[in-house]
Structure 1
Amino acid sequence: MTPSLNSIVSRLHLKQMRLLIALGDHGSLLKAAQQVGLTQPGASKALQEIETTFGTALFNRTNRGLEPNEVGHCVIRYARLIHTDVAHLRQEIVGILRGHGGRVAVGAIMGAVPLLTEAISALVERHPEMSVEIVEDTSATLLSQIEAGRLDLAICRTTISQTPQLYDSIKLQDETLAVIANVDHPLGHAKRVTLTNLAEYRWVVYRANMPMRLLLEREFRDAGIRFPLHLLETTSTLATLMLLQNNPSFIALVSIDVAQFFSHHQMTRILPLTLASTSEPYELVTRRGAPRSPGAQLLMDELVGLRSEQV
């Protein structure tokens, strides 16, 4: 029977987390003991206490040393997360005491990356000792990370959530979409293109049920054209760019901010396709009722300031 959460929390210590990480790194009790400043008998006793805490063995004892079993790999992974979180905690405390805000973890969907990076550039220019973690993913994943406390804020959409009441949100800006392609795409110099022209090309798109994907499917449906069957699905800006760079016939649907950035640097070109549909606006999202760190508040102020400049 797995021990209760209260039992685990009351018996587990941070030094034991360090030992688990060292065991995962070395697979040797002796080397792990040396790394965390314990004797080998002391490390052996600590490992027994850890396994008792979790109510199961975490390692297989072999002639090559200690090999994590499935539960062991899981526990070590979370030990690393806990260790990282404590390091971030210290970093944020130092930042608060020095008056520069410390650290902030922020997420963004692909189309909002240019807006976010502009805000972060301004932030670190004003606060050069600020540390920022940036996560690019879908709205669903970013919201789950906000709820879990892994992110301080995100630029995404709460409309995809079944529990939008869990979040506070501020509308940042509307999203306009564009179709981009390799600079040598066969239709790159056309004055106007239609969905019919593009239907047979290979599309790079978001996964099914994502807002941008649904919009594109609606465009094809309203035009009476079958939606392309063989898609390349990704949420990564870099993967999208690399796919277009590697194949002159690929096309992708992205936000106009991403499209203009790529076009400005002559990495891709914007195809002259007019879309009838409009996308939902970006929101600046935080967890409702959660306290805001100084770093998070500074970044939010930068983002809201950019919104005000665009109005």
Structure 2
Amino acid sequence: MVKVSVVIPVYNVEKYLEDCLNSIVNQTLRDIEIICIDDGSTDNSLAILNDFAEFDDRMIIVSQSNQGHAVSTNRGIEMAQGEYLYLMDSDDIVKLNTLEDTYNLCKSKDLDFLIFKAQAYNELENRFYDGENYVMEGLFKSVGNSIFNYKDIPDEELFHISVTPWSKLYNRQFIMDCGAKFPEGLVFDDNVFFWQVLFNARRIYFYNEFLFTRRFYSLSSTTSGDMRYLDSIEIVNLIGEEFRKHGEFERHKVKLYNEKVHMGQFRYRRIKEEFKGMFFEAWRNDLIDVFGDENLFEDFFKNLKDEYKKLVVRILLSRSDDEFRQMEDISLMEFGKLKKDIEERLGEE
């Protein structure tokens, strides 16, 4: 059995792929397999993969029609044979000692998974910077060098951990046993995978070292501002389901409810103008579903910050994005009347 299976989903990243692959094939840990899933690339990505594979028999290249990051990653995980599992992004780079250091720690401490730090690189601005969620200083201050699970993490730090799989090394058997999967057909899918893994893990360790560089550029899914941003609405709901499944929703519902509204607002503000109308419609329909469950809406609404309460009311009262933009601020003092207005408006649609 190889020590680490590296899974790399690939799609149209010819500009960055060689940097990524060089950072993997030159790892100081040699006993690895490198599973690359080309997801129907239309550029030279597949040719680059095949060129590397000619000189490295540890590489396994799979070519499939375009089905998305989640499908590619899940397929790679299913193919993996290593003791441990590393999920790499094809447009980023990792330090050459990463797999050796993290593998040795995982083995010696019998870990379900290990977390390490990353730095961010903004290609448009040509600068490196430390992102709070990638550095995770609060987590380290809380757990130090101890082995922990999610119950040991203070509530205020739980939502500040990087959800990205590339800042983790996983015990492959643990992943198989807990059944963690990336939700297929959606971007931001690593958010759901993270909570599935975190809630099931019993032995986690934080390695307080920078091992990874995350690249941000205009076409990446996290910065593109295109229609893929609509997926974040469903992702937030799937996260809530994971909390309910593990009996943690009630404890964290204030954060989850407010994050639901915050994330909608965050993506709405950053999606390109041409897609705002579609995003608003999906965002509003999602909130209409909540409003349609009287008990759920009451619990949801009373736990929101006032600014988010006002935002939710404005969304529900607006039949279109244009109407939403033109609506003036509302007073929560008149919420009883506003709720009736919402009911009447929805009844007319």
Which TM bucket (shorter chain)? Answer: under 0.3
What's the TM-score once normalised by structure 2's chain length?
0.24
More relative contact order, 1 or 2 (CA 8 Å, 6+ apart): 1
